[in-house]
Structure 1
């Protein structure tokens, strides 16, 4: 035997359309990413790839050490 299913009643639709509001960052973050990628396309000289030969971690630790030494 199958059991009857109970469905929830839907709220009435608003006259202005969908009543869901997005937070501000839901539009700001994709827009900022688009602007950053567009800037890299317009000026590709600023887009540097990290090479394996650079001591990036050592440089970061040296800067942190200098910051705490002050």
Structure 2
């Protein structure tokens, strides 16, 4: 006696996986890219923050150590 076979509830898809992304999953990276592109093209718009001299010296020292 053979066992009855069960059919899957949904037919198998052919041709790949169907993935749907929310609108913001594409919009956020595009917005970040455009923002960085604008800052690169117009560097006068980006203002450098004034840093504490001790922090600046620490970064310079770290850069020197990494350059060795």
The TM-score with structure 2 as length reference comes to 0.52
1:22 maps onto 2:60 in alignment: no
Aligned length: 43
Give per-residue Cα distances to partners, 1:6-34, cap 9 Å, x unaligned: xxxxx865235221111111100000000
SS in 2 for 1:19: coil
SS in 1 for 2:29: helix
> Which residue of the partner structure matches residue 6 of structure 1?
none
1:44, distance to aligned residue in structure 2 (A): 0.4
Change in 2 beyond 3 A, CA 1:36/1:28: same
**Structure of higher CA gyration radius:** 2
User: In the aligned structure 2, how far is the partner of 1:45 from the partner of 1:30?
Assistant: 23
CA RMSD for the aligned pairs?
2.3
User: In the aligned structure 1, how far is the partner of 2:31 from the partner of 2:46?
Assistant: 17
**Greater helix share, structure number:** 2
Gap runs ≥5 in structure 1: 1-10, 54-70
Following TM superposition, where does structure 1 have runs of at least 4 consecutive aligned residues deviating by more than 4 angstroms?
none
